[in-house]
Structure 1
Amino acid sequence: MNVLIVDDDPLVRQSLKLLLDKENDLHVIALAANGKEALRHCEKKVPDAILMDIRMPVMDGIECTKRIKEEWPHVYVMMLTTFKDEKNIRRALQVGASGYLLKSSDAENMATQLRALHSGGSVLDKSVLNQLLHFDKHAHLQELTDREKQIVSCVGEGLSNKEIADKLYLSTGTVRNTLSVILEKLELRDRTQLAIYYWKRE
């Protein structure tokens, strides 16, 4: 997996690079100090995943993520920040970020979290979940079947469709179709919002 690291702090960039370079399946293809530099790197070689700081000069991580998802929608973006304010969390998810972690998160898990994104899962720091999106009160888990509730639980754990299929002895197609039904029932946009919904009701 090719990874781009975007952070205005050179020490953070280098420490993340040193960490990820230890993993055989992860390759840091470039480092960027702001969103504008990140876009230039993407034009040269599109990464599979991006570790993206939120607050940066020239172009912040939210604007950069928005542009990246418009141009390269298949790229996974995991936001990194020291801020837990609801506004930035909302904005990051709304523009297409697939994950959100605090910089104080356990660095040893960074590689695992990137793999989770790449396999279709979502990465959400549980310490910030209570800051996240509020959903309509009429949307209840009780409206779901037992099988649908099992799949919601798996999504909440960050499992990919394949991992859910293996765990529940289903085909990936069945999981994918059932997820579509669940999102429609709960009036949610994607699996990231579904994971947030699940944890807010725990």
Structure 2
Amino acid sequence: MTDSGGGRTRDVLIADDHPLIRAGIKATLAGRPEWRVCAETETGEAAIRLAQELKPDLIVVDYALPIANGVEVARQLCQDMPGIGVLVYTMHVDERVLMAAIRAGARGYVLKSEDDATLLAAMREVATGGTYISEGISSRQPARLTDATISALTVRETEVIRLVAMGETNKGIAAKLNVSIKTVDTHRTAAMRKLDLHSAIDVALFAIRSGMINP
């Protein structure tokens, strides 16, 4: 779809159980020809059904939805519709929820306390294949690293970092790679030091941005 100015108009589905939030997002998008709200809903179950029917470019979904929460919506849609942009829009300042959302396939995580400009920036980034995480949820977000830095990892360190990003524990990684837990910890520590990463969130974001895993 294109707008009158020749640019692309992207369809967005809004899923939030609070009418005022939905109204606020629509008001933010009003008058912006690059966006068209194709549908809105208040439940996760309906969000999945509408997305499968309408095939929007982007879904802005609350985490705390009834029936199916935002992570469950992301997991189902990213499985059924590879390439769809999922942006979780939430009040939850919780790194565990963020990690679950990323591992489910969401590429955006924005706090409702952020301003409209941040939401718009996140929507644009996610709709065009990028990732966007609110600064308020993670104190450090790794920058896109150079190929030279990435190539500093050994093959085994790369394997370990990828599995950490996918949510595996050291014990689980050890079983998959048929090595000891101590060996996994050594590779994990060395890789995180080389990449200047300090948490599992840093690892997950790095893995997505560097193409190690696909959200």
Range class of TM-score, shorter chain:
0.5 to 0.7
2:189 alignment partner, one of 122, 134, 137? 137
The residue that corresponds to 1:178 in the other structure is none
Is 109-118 or 120-129 further displaced after alignment? 109-118
1:51-130 residue pairs with structure 2 within 5 A?
51-130=60-139
Change (3 A) 1:192 1:47: farther
Change (3 A) 1:109 1:26: same
- Distance in 2 between residues matched to 1:57 and 1:65, nearest whole Å: 14
SS in structure 2 of the partner of residue 139 of structure 1: helix
Runs of 4+ off more than 4 Å: 140-144
Aligned amino acid, residue 208 of structure 2 = D
| Structure 1 contact 21–28 (Cα < 8 Å) conserved | no
The residue that corresponds to 1:190 in the other structure is 208
Q: Tell me the CA shift for residue 117 of structure 1.
A: 1.4
What is the TM-score when the length of structure 2 is the normalising length?
0.64
How many residues were matched structurally?
155
Q: Tell me the CA shift for residue 120 of structure 1.
A: 2.4
C-alpha distance after superposition, 1:102-142 (max 9, x if no partner) = 0001113322221111222211111111499x883211474
- Distance in 2 between residues matched to 1:56 and 1:28, nearest whole Å: 19
SS in structure 1 of the partner of residue 189 of structure 2: coil
- Distance in 2 between residues matched to 1:49 and 1:100, nearest whole Å: 13
- Distance in 2 between residues matched to 1:141 and 1:193, nearest whole Å: 19
SS in structure 1 of the partner of residue 120 of structure 2: helix
| Structure 2 contact 89–109 (Cα < 8 Å) conserved | yes
C-alpha distance after superposition, 1:11-54 (max 9, x if no partner) = 10111011112211111100010111111211221010111100
| Structure 2 contact 14–41 (Cα < 8 Å) conserved | yes
The residue that corresponds to 2:29 in the other structure is 20
SS in structure 2 of the partner of residue 100 of structure 1: strand
| Structure 2 contact 110–119 (Cα < 8 Å) conserved | no
| Structure 2 contact 85–129 (Cα < 8 Å) conserved | no
Structure 2, unmatched stretches of 5+, are 1-9, 142-163, 166-187, 197-201
Q: Tell me the CA shift for residue 59 of structure 1.
A: 1.2
Percent sequence identity over aligned pairs: 27
Aligned amino acid, residue 72 of structure 1 = M
- Distance in 1 between residues matched to 2:191 and 2:80, nearest whole Å: 33
SS in structure 2 of the partner of residue 137 of structure 1: helix
Q: Tell me the CA shift for residue 57 of structure 1.
A: 1.1
Aligned amino acid, residue 138 of structure 1 = A
Give me the CA root mean square deviation: 3.1
